[in-house]
Amino acid sequence: MTARASQKPQPKTDRGERTRRKILDAAALAIGKRGFSATSISDITAAAGVGQGTFYIYFQSKEEVLREMVLQMGRDLRQHLTQAIAGTKNRLEAEREGLRAFIDFVRGNPGLYRIVEESQFVDEAIYRRHYMDFAATYRAALEAAEARGEIRKGSAEVRAWALMGMAVLLGQRYGIWDVATPLDDVVGPAVDLIGRGIRP
């Protein structure tokens, strides 16, 4: 089901590096806007301003581009969240800032968000890994908080997935479909729910 695939070799010159980037950027824009299957290779290469054959110098297929973009989005989001919760003093504060930062990220990168969700139907393994990785990080943070006595005892695994789920759907509702509602109006009630749900 999933391509095992030997990656294409990295570009060896500056020009190659630039061309690869152009293709990747054009692909992110096009796929983010129109969706994966509605976007053809020639759409991408045309938008990138390169020949069709050039695509295959750097990528095996559209799927491989998607895979790379999901990884990229994981890194971007991780960084955004890490930065957002950097100054927080306890788990509850981290939940608040993390949720706010997540919805904020979705508002700022609706295309990337969409790409990750669609990857589920293109290469399930990469989508699953994306979530599993986040879940593992989240779980570790919850266990640490539990050890510090900041939150009540309870399954960190289930909690991690439950809280991620909240964030994902709130991100859809208030990050994509409705970008007018102030973040505080969303984050406030949600964090109230979370806070009472997990505190000692």
Partner DNA sequence: CGATCATATGACGACTAATTCATGTTTGAC
Partner DNA sequence: GTCAAACATGAATTAGTCGTCATATGATCG
CA-CA distance, 61 to 55, in Å (whole number)? 8
Residue closer to DNA, measured from CB, 68 or 150: 68
Q: Among 15-23, 66-74, 147-155, 169-177, which window interacts with DNA (CB under 7 A)?
A: 15-23
Chain CA centroid to CA 165, Å: 13
Could you give the 3-state DSSP secondary structure of residue 194?
A: helix
To which H or E segment does residue 64 belong? helix 62-84
CA-CA distance, 138 to 144, in Å (whole number)? 10
| N-term to C-term CA, the chain | 45
The entry of DNA, a copy of itself, none near residue 83 (CB within 5 to 8 angstroms by kind) is none
Q: Does 161 bind a copy of itself (CB under 8 A)?
A: yes
CB 130 within 8 A of CB 70: yes
Q: Does 61 bind a copy of itself (CB under 8 A)?
A: no
Least Cβ distance, residue 167 to a copy of itself (angstroms): 7
Q: Among 50-58, 59-67, 90-98, 117-125, which window interacts with a copy of itself (CB under 8 A)?
A: 117-125
CA-CA distance, 173 to 12, in Å (whole number)? 43
Binding residues for DNA, rule: CB under 7 A, are 9, 11-16, 18-19, 40-43, 49-57, 61-62
Binding residues for a copy of itself, rule: CB under 8 A, are 35-37, 117-118, 120-121, 128, 131, 135, 154-155, 158-159, 161-170, 172-174, 177, 185-186, 188-190, 192-198
